[in-house]
Chain A
């Protein structure tokens, strides 16, 4: 291993468990002997030599390898300690997780938004994952699972990394939402609007979490269900948005949505390079779920109209696993990237004006940063929240 690479360092207990599990697998499948000889090669963390973060600690925790039928199950619970060795504060980081058995068809990532790590500071990142692979599958020389940096976003919104997962854009959107929400909460605190603050942060209620749904995304050609029918997609407009949805349609059958298409218009004077369309799904009981946002690379000139369509099939279910009957589909512009590299996100006023539905407004405004600040408010109250907002404000004001 080169110095930049962080090899696994397991605790004694984990080591013993690992060895016993490996021995079991050796009995089950002689083909594994090669893997056992090179057990250090099945997981690897690698950062380039010029990376702004390096791994300074690693705990393998309760990781195990077991066999299940003809498959090997690797349960990995890795806790890294990373250090900012660059010169700028880091406000977001994406680690790419790749398994050689799935490449190039599938991979994963772990994103840490809202970090505010100053140069020299350390921070934890956990990777909890499971890999199920055929015991008999061939192996290459590289590790079975590799973790590496995809993108680090600094407080001046500049980025480092290969950005294979379009992480820079994602981290920028999270950071802008974070700044918007911190500004909003600071305004409430400074103005003494504590009842509004309490309401915004769910009254410190631990049980409150945004509405959950189950998702399945199928790519590749499929048989079209016989009962499929077209459903109109209703636009939710943010009045000051630079891109406006005009409407659209999707094919729906039960809990499946296929081939959604939305017409959009660039109403700004800037060239747009990509648009993320947010989707809201209403179930048979009239409950709305924000299903997420799909980003499309789509150059649109000023005052031009275009459309976004998606391949693949989406299947929705309730948290219980029961299929969700889709009654209505709505779409909104979640964020827009312009040719000059800037990104637009809806302001709090935009969200307020977009819908009369209080619950839906809350869902649209819930960002990762607000989720984090709500957790601090729950644990430490108004004083803790003030302290955190001040800390972040100071971190961001440090010269880059």
Chain B
């Protein structure tokens, strides 16, 4: 379905939409448009791919080390511990002052919760909400910890396999032709200028 150019969201809106940084109403409006507009969908895919690329690069370059990952896990465990302490503390004090004006307290609490929810939905990006929900689901045991599988990738300079925090890249010239060569392998093929021989490189994951 084509849409008149005048109705397209701006490129800034699309980039914020792609990264999940739009408020709820604007996000909903943009998603309706993107679902029916191939050009805008392409823009969004490009932004998402770039974001994913940057995230991968930063993970590959900085957070590859076990130490960095271990620090994050320690930090996460600390956060989850604090949440549990908060929940336990609220249980301890929930009986205090129970007899005084329960109707008023209930109404006040519900109102505040509704206000908080409205503010959250309108202001907090979906990405952040999703992350929080994911952490809470893991706290209550509904989700498992994310699985770090093996990733095989082609780049302009090489094909790589990333597993267990390390990355092995077999390099090739820009002219190399990339293809799949198995359910868990990627291939690059090129003619070596020096020897005139064909060289085929592969990376394999398990």
Interface pair A101/B165, CB less than 8 Å apart: yes
User: Any chain B CB within 8 A of the CB of A170?
Assistant: yes
B199 to chain A: which residues have CB within 8 Å?
A: 110-112, 126
Chain B residues whose C-beta falls within 8 Å of the C-beta of A322 in the assembled complex:
42, 45-46, 49
Asked if A48 is an interface residue, CB under 8 A from chain B, the answer is no
Provide the residues of chain A in CB contact with B127, threshold 8 Å.
none
Give, as a whole number of angstroms, the nearest-CB distance from B171 to chain A.
4
Contacts of B195 in A (CB 8 A): 123-124
Q: Assuming the A-B contacts A108-B203, A292-B181, A314-B180, are A216 and B166 also in contact, with contact meaning beta carbons closer than 8 angstroms in the complex?
A: no
Q: Kindly list chain A residues whose C-beta atoms are within 8 Å of the C-beta of B37.
A: none
A310 close to B183 (CB less than 8 A):
yes
Is A218 positioned at the interface, with any CB of B under 8 Å from its CB?
yes
Cα-based distance from A104 to B168 in the complex (angstroms): 13
The listed residue (B41, B65, B149, B178) touching A219 by CB distance below 8 A is B149
Q: Is B177 an interface residue (CB 8 A)?
A: yes
Q: How far is the CA of A216 from the CA of B52 in the complex (A)?
A: 12
Interface residues of A in 55-79 (CB under 8 A from B): 68-71
Assess whether A212 is interfacial by the CB under 8 Å rule.
yes
Confirm or deny: B169 has a beta carbon within 8 angstroms of a beta carbon on chain A. Answer: yes
Are the C-beta atoms of A129 and B68 separated by less than 8 Å? no
Known contacts A102-B166, A114-B198, A214-B154; is-contact A291 B179 (Cβ 8 Å) = yes
- Would you call A135 an interface residue if the criterion is a C-beta within 8 Å of the partner chain's C-beta atoms? yes
Let me know if A369 and B198 touch, CB within 8 A: yes
User: In this assembly, does A51 line the interface, its C-beta being within 8 Å of a C-beta of chain B?
Assistant: no
- What total of chain B residues lie within 8 Å of the partner, measured CB to CB? 71
Q: Which residues of A have CB within 8 Å of B63?
A: 69-70
Report yes or no: A129 in contact with B180, Cβ–Cβ below 8 A.
Answer: no
> What 1/0 mask marks residues of chain A from 323 to 360 whose CB sits below 8 Å from any chain B CB?
10100000000000000000000000000000000000
Query: For the complex, what is the distance from the CA of A222 to the CA of B147, rounded to whole Å?
Result: 8
- Whether A110 and B154, one on each chain, are in contact in the complex, defined by CB atoms closer than 8 angstroms, is no
> Which residues of the other chain, B, contact A293 by a CB distance below 8 angstroms?
179-181
Q: Closest B residue to A99 by CB, please name it.
A: B168
Contact B164 A372 (CB under 8 A): no
Cβ of B117 to closest chain A Cβ, rounded Å: 23
Collect the chain A residues with CB atoms within 8 Å of residue B184's CB: 217, 219, 312
Interface assignment of A269: CB less than 8 Å from any CB of chain B: no
A276 to B9, CA, bound (A): 45
> Which of the 9-residue segments B78-86, B88-96, B186-194 touches chain A?
B186-194
Q: Does A399 contact B (CB under 8 A)?
A: no
- Please indicate the chain A residues that have their CB under 8 angstroms from the CB of B164 in the complex: 101-102, 105
Q: Assess whether A192 is interfacial by the CB under 8 Å rule.
A: no
Structural contact, B201 and A111, CB atoms closer than 8 A: yes
**In chain B between 159 and 174, which residues have their CB closer than 8 angstroms to a CB of chain A?**
159, 161-172
**B7 CB within 8 Å of chain A:** no
Query: Which residues does chain B contribute within 8 Å of A170, judged by CB atoms?
Result: 181
User: Is the Cβ of B186 less than 8 Å from the Cβ of A70?
Assistant: no
Contact of A372 among B38, B65, B180, B196 (CB under 8 A): B196
Asked if A213 CB lies within 8 Å of chain B CBs, one says: yes
- Least Cβ distance of B146 to chain A in Å? 9
A132 and B177 contacting across the interface, CB-CB below 8 Å: no
In the bound complex, do residue B161 and residue A102 qualify as a contact, i.e. CB atoms below 8 Å apart? yes
User: By the criterion CB–CB under 8 Å, are A71 and B147 in contact?
Assistant: no
Q: Determine if A210 is an interface residue (Cβ-Cβ < 8 Å).
A: yes
B115-158 with Cβ < 8 A to chain A? 147-156, 158
A266 at interface by CB-CB < 8 Å: no
A222 and B144 CA atoms in complex are apart in Å by 12
Nearest neighbor of B149 in chain A, beta-carbon distance = A220
**CB of A296 within 8 Å of the partner chain:** yes
**Contact residues of A between 182 and 222, Cβ < 8 Å to B:** 209-210, 212-222
A6 contacts chain B at the CB level, 8 A cutoff = no
* B64: interface (CB < 8 Å): yes
Fill in one digit per residue for A9-36: 1 if any B CB lies within 8 Å of its CB, else 0: 0000000000000000000000000000
Contact of A134 among B46, B53, B65, B185 (CB under 8 A): B65
Which residues in A have their C-beta under 8 angstroms from that of B172? 128
> Which A residues are in CB contact (< 8 Å) with B169?
129-132
Residues of A within 8 A of B (CB): 68-71, 97, 99, 101-102, 104-115, 123-124, 126-137, 165-166, 170, 174, 209-210, 212-222, 254-255, 279, 284, 290-296, 310-312, 314, 317, 319, 321-323, 325, 368-369, 371-372, 375-376, 379
Q: Identify 21 residue pairs between A and B in the complex whose beta-carbon atoms are under 8 Å apart, listed by A's number.
A: A69-B61, A70-B65, A97-B170, A105-B164, A107-B161, A113-B198, A113-B200, A115-B197, A123-B197, A126-B192, A129-B169, A130-B167, A130-B169, A136-B65, A217-B205, A254-B45, A294-B180, A317-B49, A325-B42, A368-B198, A376-B196
Which 10 A-B residue pairs are closest in the complex by CB-CB distance? A220-B149, A70-B65, A292-B179, A292-B180, A106-B161, A101-B166, A105-B163, A134-B65, A128-B171, A111-B200
Seen from chain B, the residues whose Cβ lies within 8 Å of a Cβ on chain A are 38, 41-42, 45-46, 48-50, 53, 60-68, 147-156, 158-159, 161-172, 175-187, 189, 191-192, 194-206
